[in-house]
Structure 1
Amino acid sequence: MPHGPAEVGVGPWEGPWPSGPASERYDPELLADGDRRNVVDRYRYWSLEAIVADLDTRRHAFHVAIENWQHDFNIGTIVRSANAFLAAEVHIVGNRRWNRRGAMVTDRYQHVRHHADVPELAAYLHERGVTLLGIDNLPGSAQLETMAVPREVCFLFGQEGPGLSEQARASCDGTFSIAQFGSTRSINASAAAAIAMHAWVRDHADLSAAQVWRG
């Protein structure tokens, strides 16, 4: 028998359509045609606007920022992880245009801001009481495995290869590194971002909440 991946999502809504005040969250086109989006079951048939509004009620206190000088392909993947861990905001620093392919449409559910440079980002964050921490294996960097991750924090990631720019290093409130044990000098930027975000989750997120998705 031929086989392949199971079809994602659900087909058209069966039975009478939802009614009442709660029905405003549903998208008529999705009800009629089915919902094949990569969203958790809670959000099946919900409109994009309704999903974002619900996420906004429980976003976490950490931000993620990525320097965008070389149109790094990792940016989209970092945005996707930021959505999975429910970041408050994602910040793109430098070039306004970035490769969205790796985001897999998750950028639609995130608040994405653009900043011309890192000092502008730092000013925006400091006005809101958010600490800016860069990831770079520099002398004097804190060890992520043993440091206390601030609750109000923005993780800043540089480009794959060169890492944080000199401007970024000068603008950060501090830097941290991730322990490695193999032969390579560094790990992929998107992998490092996911590790940092998960460290925040371990320290600060409510893991008993009903909204914790585990597949």
Structure 2
Amino acid sequence: MKQDQIVSLNVGGKYYMTSVSTLTTYPDSMIGSMFSGRFPKVRDNQGNYVIDRDGKIFRYILNFLRTAQLCLPERFAEWDLLEAEADFYQIAQLSEAILTAKESRGLYCSNVTFELEQRKHWGGLTEWYGYTDSNIIRSMPKLSRDDDNRLICNLCKVDEESLRAGICKCKDPFKRFFQEISNAGFRYCSSVAENLRKSEEIVVWTFCRGPLYSQ
């Protein structure tokens, strides 16, 4: 599709008109991939490209693609839905803007910390642990943990025969965990490494969330 081509969209029954260049502002995002030819597209009977997502919220997604600014009503309340849509479209810049907007409106009522612990053992075995409130962990769809606080990556959890809690087989586990922690509103604060035993090295990253925290 040509960058200057005008397209009409049917997003959950709501209709929009925009350009391919706007939709591909962030080419590595899901929506950028949809209109760069990497994914097949579906049209309705009127020829509109169909996106089976929330049509009302899409106006904020589209405006962000146009201006790189997140413009929300003063009494906007559908934060969970907006974050879910930003996650679906995989627009990292929008997710960051949402978190900034929430912080500026004081929606994080108290400071919270998240400690991500990496335990490196001799032989190449690496285990991951996450320490924070259980409700926060449950808000991270790509992560969970067992009773010993060992993190479970839900993206590679399918390999249960050779995977146990605390061992992530993703190409870059830290990047995977960091992204999910960041999506939950946390920012990196500090890190520390120590050798408790000759056979084990522990690295702890601390992330913070709250109105008193500034990057």
Is the TM value for this pair above 0.5? no
Bigger radius of gyration: 2
Identify which of structures 1 and 2 has the higher relative contact order when contacts are C-alpha pairs closer than 8 Å and 6+ apart.
Answer: 1
The structure with more helix, counted as a fraction of residues:
1
Class of the TM-score when normalised by the shorter of the 2 chains: under 0.3
So what's the TM-score if we normalise by structure 2?
0.26
The structure with more strand, counted as a fraction of residues:
2
